[in-house]
């Protein structure tokens, strides 16, 4: 192999050549290693940045600006007939009560347009809140009380520093006057951030300040519960059959290939299946958690089956042999001995599958879970939405205030996912057994 | 009874049947002392009774409920006024939709015509009759089963064997669901797609370059002839997937190499799960992130360089999708690199190769088929990804290779065409199923290929 035409190098020359190339090669080594480190760091940096953006945007959603007004529950406005009739109390002109309170606060404001601007500091729902208070306790009528009412989303943005005051008046949702009033209230301590109960306990709304995630959380809960009830038994049964009972033949090969492929089919295709079969063919109701759960079941089954099979495989054959040797039947062997040992692994896989199902939204769009639903769903066939779909819906809303709500909903969603995945990890750590 | 209540009743009934069967078997042999005279354990007799009580009833109930809606709709269609019944099929299905909505309480009763109101009242009446009949039928079946099985229980009855046979069949039944899902996907998507292809020629769909899914409502309408050339969608999908892979493959691959070959085990134990968190974040979060942060940021940078970047550019969607896919590439590549036998590395070191030379010239070459398989799986994931592109990519079907422009993808169009109220037979909605068919077939082909490559490679070193 040696090249005879070249003059032979002395050992010293060879050493020099190698040393020169070594420096280059070591340099390449360091560079290569740096690439690797950079890649890992970049991945982490994306993760950190993603969480930073979501949290810095969303943490404010848990607080809402409120305005303290001393409200005179004017009998003339609320209950002119004086008989405390509940229908009359309900139909009374509560915005006028708020208007009066605001005008008392800012006596210098005059004229229709200015009053209207003043009213815009307060959320449209503040009147309903007063209505509820009065109906709950009619004795307040005729008294004056300090009440915190919900500020409008524009004032909320201003208070949270999310509105650029330097913009010209036309580009801002608040006029110079409104900002001045808000600042005055703020300076007097009558404008403050309070815990946003509506966001945690309310349903969806068109106004950012009234929107809550509870409806979506309940929808997601029903859906996950049903998905779990459907997919866990079916997934475990499939895994047990394939791992413990099935003879290897074409039929079981076909099932295995199918499961592996379904694990990689885009989720939206499952949505198409749900739309065409469950809704189109079987006539199940649109937007219902029932249909969502059925689609998510099909979607998570491969994950659960694959994890359960791995857990069953990890149970050593000696356990089965011992049970069979003692005269147990095959089913008894599996039910009494193999399944309990494989259960932690199966549960881990199931929780991971459920976490995936909780974050899934594309198939739910297909089966109509994107409707605007204010009510909290009361059953599995009520129209409902799910947490990730709520995120999608809010992110589509033009109001600036929804950016914060969207991020807030994402924080809640991520919190659920973290809890589920941590449970899975702990379960695995705690019950993992090496044979 | 509502189906849910019936289900609960049946469950309680089965529990009762279990106790009846168990105590009957014990009574036959004179209490727990005579258990050894029984062929099977008392619980097996109970289980047998419970299974015979529940399973046939469940089967009947499932079939009944599956077809109840269709049959009732057929019945009330026959009772509709002649004027409504003679409507074309499309309009009739709209009327039926109104009926369903009214029954479900989604629309107020005064917003629909008298015919619809009458029909929905009739629907509710028929549904009530149907439920009543079902309840009676189920109860009769369950009681009959319990009585029959109870009279058959003898100490010689091989209850365990029959219970185990039933359980094995149940297991087989569950495992076929995966097959039925695939059949269901293919059948439903293909069925609607073929209806679409009977209106639009497949050739026009696959090779046409103009996409504007509007169909004329009237024949003389101007400017809405509707064209269903899907090439811009395929090109947009390919462009975004390419950008995603351009981000994900180098970062994922180098991360995998670093974590598998260089990193300290301690660093690895917390860095690897942390990277995998990226895959666990719901895609809707990425979509929001892309639309809120990356899109405007790219637009701002573009402006400072004098470039015109669309606010819903392919680059923003592709970039974020790439971040999402990093862990798929890295964990698969990690597995493949770890599967390369240490002896190969030792051989290279013995010849004087540095670590990076070993990795580049020995490990990567040995792991390459597996890594290619992993990348193909990641590509199929990128093609099928929906939420990121729905939220961050546009709707405009531009046929362009410029990543700074807005493009649209197959999944975006499926969502756009199907979300919202639409009748089921317009080419517009059917087009979504045709796109779904293409999506399913392409990802299926990629998956089969990738799994084949991965499996073939894995066997080499086992």
Question: pLDDT at position A246, please?
Answer: 87
The whole-number average pLDDT for the span B363-372 is 88
The SS3 of residue A2 is coil
Question: pLDDT at position B57, please?
Answer: 92
A-chain residues near B411 (CB < 8 A)? 266, 268, 362
Q: Are B38 and B21 in contact (CB under 8 A)?
A: no
Do A184 and A113 have their domain in common? yes
Question: pLDDT at position A307, please?
Answer: 92
d(CA B405, CA B313): 5
CA distances from B136 to A305, B8, B61, B72, B280 (A): 37, 15, 11, 19, 48
Return the residue in A18, A31, A32 with the most chain B beta carbons within 10 A, the one to mutate for interface testing: A32
* Least Cα separation, residue B114 to chain A (angstroms): 23
CA distances from B413 to A256, A372, B206, B391, B410 (A): 32, 21, 15, 12, 5
Q: Are A363 and B185 in contact (CB under 8 A)?
A: no
A-chain residues near B439 (CB < 8 A)? 266, 268-269
Question: pLDDT at position B421, please?
Answer: 56
Do A292 and A373 have their domain in common? yes
B-chain residues near A403 (CB < 8 A)? 292
A-chain residues near B451 (CB < 8 A)? 260-261
* Listed residue (A344, A352, A354, A353) closest to A430, CA to CA: A344
Count of positions (residues) in chain B: 462
Nearest CA in chain B to A413: B282
| Element of type H or E holding A144 | strand A144-150
Contact A39 B255 (CB under 8 A): yes
Question: pLDDT at position A407, please?
Answer: 92
Strands (DSSP E) found in B92-210: none
What is the total count of domains within chain A?
A: 2
Q: Does residue B202 carry a pLDDT above 80? A: yes
Phi, psi of A193, deg, nearest 5: -85, 130
B-chain residues near A47 (CB < 8 A)? 274-275, 277-278
The residue that leads in pLDDT, B223 or B23, is B23
In a domain, A73, yes or no: yes
The SS3 of residue A64 is strand
Strands (DSSP E) found in A276-418: none
Q: Are A121 and A155 in contact (CB under 8 A)?
A: yes
In a domain, A301, yes or no: yes
Q: Are A278 and B456 in contact (CB under 8 A)?
A: no
Nearest CA in chain B to A55: B289
A341 touches chain B (CB under 8 A): no
Q: Does residue B146 carry a pLDDT above 70? A: yes
Question: pLDDT at position B215, please?
Answer: 57
d(CA A156, CA A60): 10
A15 touches chain B (CB under 8 A): no
* Least Cα separation, residue B146 to chain A (angstroms): 24
Do A232 and A110 have their domain in common? no
The residue that leads in pLDDT, B127 or B461, is B127
Burial of B127 (0-12, 13-18, 19+ CB in 10 A): middle
Q: Taking all residues of chain B, what is their mean pLDDT, rounded to a whole number?
A: 86
d(CA A99, CA A118): 8
Do A254 and A188 have their domain in common? no
For the ranges A415-429, B95-109, B148-162, B284-298, which has the lowest average pLDDT? B95-109
Return the residue in B3, B195, B272, B288 with the most chain A beta carbons within 10 A, the one to mutate for interface testing: B288
d(CA A405, CA A400): 10
CA distances from A131 to A116, A128, A376, B247 (A): 20, 5, 21, 56
The whole-number average pLDDT for the span A2-11 is 69
Contact A410 B285 (CB under 8 A): yes
d(CA A235, CA A312): 12
A272 closest CB neighbour out of B167, B284, B436:
B436
A391 touches chain B (CB under 8 A): yes
Q: Does residue A277 carry a pLDDT above 80? A: yes
Do A235 and A99 have their domain in common? no
What would the DSSP string read from start to end of A263-295? TTS-HHHHHHHIIIIIIIIT-PPTT-HHHHHHH
The residue that leads in pLDDT, A143 or A346, is A346
d(CA B17, CA B43): 11
Q: What is the pLDDT of residues B283-315, one digit of tens each?
A: 999 999 998 888 888 888 888 888 888 878 889
Residue B26 in tokens: 């014990």
| Element of type H or E holding A41 | helix A11-58
Do A253 and A393 have their domain in common? yes
**Angle in degrees, CA B386, B285, B392, rounded to 5:** 50
d(CA A400, CA A153): 8
CATH number of the domain where residue A392 is located: 1.10.3720.10
Question: pLDDT at position B461, please?
Answer: 64
Question: pLDDT at position B11, please?
Answer: 92
d(CA B234, CA B410): 7
* Least Cα separation, residue A304 to chain B (angstroms): 12
* Listed residue (B135, B138, B69, B62) closest to B104, CA to CA: B69
Determine whether domain B227-461 maps to CATH 1.10.3720.10. yes
d(CA B188, CA B202): 18
Do A247 and A382 have their domain in common? yes
d(CA A14, CA A267): 61
Q: Are A288 and A383 in contact (CB under 8 A)?
A: yes
Question: pLDDT at position B458, please?
Answer: 67
Top mean pLDDT of A392-406, A412-426, B399-413 is at A412-426
A362 touches chain B (CB under 8 A): yes
Q: For chain A, how many helices (H) and strands (E)?
A: 19, 3
B174 closest CB neighbour out of A28, A237, A298:
A237
A227 touches chain B (CB under 8 A): no
Nearest CA in chain A to B268: A40
In a domain, A390, yes or no: yes
| Element of type H or E holding A67 | strand A63-72
Do A163 and A244 have their domain in common? no
In a domain, A6, yes or no: no
Contact A240 B436 (CB under 8 A): no
B-chain residues near A358 (CB < 8 A)? 282
Contact A46 B326 (CB under 8 A): yes
Question: pLDDT at position B49, please?
Answer: 92
Question: pLDDT at position A177, please?
Answer: 82
Q: Where are the domains of chain B?
A: 3-175, 227-461
| Element of type H or E holding B212 | strand B211-212
A-chain residues near B271 (CB < 8 A)? 40, 44
In a domain, A72, yes or no: yes
What would the DSSP string read from start to end of B51-119? HHHHHHHHHHHHHHHHHHHHHHHHHHHHHS-HHHHTS-HHHHHHHHHHHHHHHHT-S-GGGS-HHHHHH
**What sign does the dihedral B241-B246-B248-B249 (CA atoms) show?**
positive
The whole-number average pLDDT for the span B396-401 is 81
Q: Are A352 and A307 in contact (CB under 8 A)?
A: yes
How many contacts does A have with B, using Cβ atoms within 8 A? 267
* Listed residue (A276, A358, A71, A111) closest to B285, CA to CA: A358
Count of positions (residues) in chain A: 435
In a domain, A26, yes or no: no
d(CA B295, CA A303): 33
A42 touches chain B (CB under 8 A): yes
CA distances from A347 to A31, A353, A360, B408 (A): 44, 10, 20, 39
Parent domain of A257: 214-431
Question: pLDDT at position A418, please?
Answer: 92
Contact B418 A275 (CB under 8 A): yes
| Element of type H or E holding B286 | helix B283-289
Q: Does residue A252 carry a pLDDT above 70? A: yes
Nearest CA in chain A to B170: A237
Do A190 and A220 have their domain in common? no
Nearest CA in chain B to A404: B292
Question: pLDDT at position B462, please?
Answer: 55
| Element of type H or E holding A102 | helix A94-105
The SS3 of residue B153 is coil
The residue that leads in pLDDT, A32 or A430, is A32
Query: Does the structure's ipTM exceed the value 0.90?
Result: no
Question: pLDDT at position B430, please?
Answer: 85
The residues near A100 (Cβ < 8 Å, ≥ 6 apart) are A72, A74, A77
| Element of type H or E holding A193 | strand A191-195
Q: What is the pLDDT of residues A73-100, one digit of tens each?
A: 888 888 777 777 778 778 888 888 888 8
B-chain residues near A413 (CB < 8 A)? 282, 285
The residues near A315 (Cβ < 8 Å, ≥ 6 apart) are A338, A341, A342, A435
CA distances from B251 to A42, A389, B257, B259, B372 (A): 8, 30, 10, 12, 15
Q: What is the pLDDT of residues A195-231, one digit of tens each?
A: 888 888 888 888 888 888 998 999 999 999 999 999 9
Burial of B380 (0-12, 13-18, 19+ CB in 10 A): buried
Nearest CA in chain B to A388: B284
B443 closest CB neighbour out of A29, A47, A266:
A266
Confidence of residue B225 (pLDDT cuts 50, 70, 90): low
For tokens 């379960």, what's the residue? A427
DSSP code of residue B405: S
The SS3 of residue B420 is coil
Q: Are B396 and B389 in contact (CB under 8 A)?
A: no
The residues near A208 (Cβ < 8 Å, ≥ 6 apart) are A153, A156, A397, A399, A400, A401, A402, A404, A405
A-chain residues near B359 (CB < 8 A)? 32
Q: Does residue B216 carry a pLDDT above 70? A: no
d(CA B145, CA B413): 52
Burial of B379 (0-12, 13-18, 19+ CB in 10 A): buried
What does R_g of chain B's alpha carbons equal in angstroms? 31
């Amino acid at each position: 192999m040696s090249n005879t035409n070249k003059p032979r190098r002395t050992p010293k020359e060879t050493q020099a050549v190698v040393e020169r190339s070594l420096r280059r090669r070591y340099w390449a080594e360091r560079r290569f290693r740096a690439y690797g480190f950079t890649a890992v760091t970049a991945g982490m940096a994306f993760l950190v940045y993603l969480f930073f953006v979501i949290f810095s945007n969303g943490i404010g959603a848990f607080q809402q600006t409120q305005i303290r007004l001393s409200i005179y529950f004017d009998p003339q406005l609320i209950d002119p007939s004086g008989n405390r009739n509940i229908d009359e109390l309900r139909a009374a002109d509560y915005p006028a009560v708020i208007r009066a309170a605001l005008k008392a606060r800012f006596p210098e404001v005059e004229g229709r347009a200015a009053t209207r601007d003043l009213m815009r500091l307060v959320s449209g729902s503040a009147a309903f809140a007063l209505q509820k208070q009065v109906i709950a306790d009619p004795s307040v009528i005729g008294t004056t009380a300090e009440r915190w009412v919900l500020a409008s989303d524009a004032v909320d943005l201003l208070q949270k520093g999310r509105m650029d005051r330097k913009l010209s008046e036309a580009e801002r949702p608040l006029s110079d006057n409104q900002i001045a009033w808000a600042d005055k209230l703020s300076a007097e301590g009558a404008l403050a951030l309070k815990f946003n109960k509506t966001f945690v306990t309310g349903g969806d709304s068109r106004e950012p300040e009234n929107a809550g995630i509870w409806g979506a959380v309940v929808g997601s809960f029903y859906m996950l519960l049903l998905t779990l009830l459907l997919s866990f038994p079916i997934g475990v049964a499939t895994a047990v059959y394939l791992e413990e009972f099935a003879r290897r033949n074409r039929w079981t090969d076909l099932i295995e290939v199918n499961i592996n492929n379904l694990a990689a089919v885009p989720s939206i295709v499952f949505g198409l299946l749900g739309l065409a079969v469950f809704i189109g063919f079987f006539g199940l109701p649109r937007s219902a958690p029932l249909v969502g759960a059925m689609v998510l079941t099909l979607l998570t089954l491969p994950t659960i089956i694959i994890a359960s099979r791995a857990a069953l495989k990890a149970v050593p054959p000696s356990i089965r042999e011992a049970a069979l040797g003692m005269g147990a039947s095959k089913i008894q062997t599996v039910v009494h001995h193999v399944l309990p040992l494989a259960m932690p692994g199966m549960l881990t896989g199931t929780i991971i599958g459920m976490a995936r199902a909780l974050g899934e939204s594309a198939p739910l769009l297909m089966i109509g879970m994107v409707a605007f639903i204010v009510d909290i769903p009361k059953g599995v066939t009520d129209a409902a939405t799910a947490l990730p779909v709520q995120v999608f819906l809010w992110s589509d809303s033009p109001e600036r205030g929804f950016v914060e709500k969207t991020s807030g909903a994402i924080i809640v969603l991520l919190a659920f996912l973290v809890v589920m995945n941590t449970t899975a990890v702990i379960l695995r750590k705690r019950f993992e057994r090496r044979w | 009874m509502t189906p849910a209540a019936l289900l609960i009743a049946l469950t309680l009934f089965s529990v009762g049947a279990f106790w009846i069967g168990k105590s009957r078997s014990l009574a036959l042999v004179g209490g727990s002392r005579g258990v050894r005279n029984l062929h099977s354990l008392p619980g097996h007799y109970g289980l047998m009774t419970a299974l015979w009580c529940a399973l046939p009833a469940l089967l009947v109930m499932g079939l009944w409920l599956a077809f109840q809606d269709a049959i009732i709709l057929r019945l009330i269609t026959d009772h509709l006024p002649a004027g409504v019944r003679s409507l074309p099929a499309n309009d009739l299905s709209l009327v039926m939709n109104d009926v369903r909505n009214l029954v479900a309480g989604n629309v107020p009763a005064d917003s629909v015509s008298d015919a619809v109101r009458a029909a929905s009242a009739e629907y509710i009446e028929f549904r009530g009759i149907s439920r009543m009949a079902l309840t009676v039928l189920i109860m009769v079946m369950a009681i009959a089963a319990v009585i029959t099985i109870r009279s058959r229980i003898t100490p010689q009855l091989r209850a365990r064997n029959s219970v185990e046979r039933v359980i094995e069949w149940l297991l087989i039944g569950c495992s076929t669901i995966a097959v039925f899902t695939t059949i269901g996907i293919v059948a439903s998507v293909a069925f609607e797609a073929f209806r679409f292809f009977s209106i639009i020629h497949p050739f026009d769909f696959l090779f046409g370059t103009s996409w504007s899914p509007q169909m004329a409502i009237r024949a003389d309408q101007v400017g809405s002839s509707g064209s269903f050339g899907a090439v811009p969608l395929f090109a947009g999908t390919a462009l975004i997937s390419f950008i995603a892979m351009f981000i994900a493959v180098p970062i994922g691959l180098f991360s995998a190499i670093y974590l598998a070959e260089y990193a300290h085990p301690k660093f690895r134990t917390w860095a690897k799960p942390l990277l995998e968190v990226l895959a666990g974040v719901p895609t809707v979060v990425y979509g929001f992130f892309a639309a809120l942060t990356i899109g405007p940021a790219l637009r701002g940078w573009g402006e400072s360089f004098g470039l015109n970047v669309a606010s819903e550019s392919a680059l923003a969607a592709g970039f974020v999708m790439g971040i999402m896919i990093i862990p798929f590439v890295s964990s698969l590549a990690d597995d493949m690199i770890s599967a390369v036998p240490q002896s190969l590395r030792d051989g290279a070191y013995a010849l004087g190769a540095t670590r990076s030379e070993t990795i580049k010239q020995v490990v990567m070459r040995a792991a390459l088929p597996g890594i290619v398989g992993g990348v193909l799986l990641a590509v199929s994931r990128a093609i099928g990804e929906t939420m990121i592109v729905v939220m961050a990519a546009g709707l405009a079907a531009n046929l362009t290779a410029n990543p700074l422009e807005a493009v649209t993808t197959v999944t975006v169009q499926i969502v756009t065409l199907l979300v919202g109220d639409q009748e089921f037979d317009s080419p517009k909605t059917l087009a979504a199923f045709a796109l779904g068919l293409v999506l399913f077939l392409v990802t299926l082909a990629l998956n089969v290929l990738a799994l084949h490559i991965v499996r073939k490679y894995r066997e080499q070193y086992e």
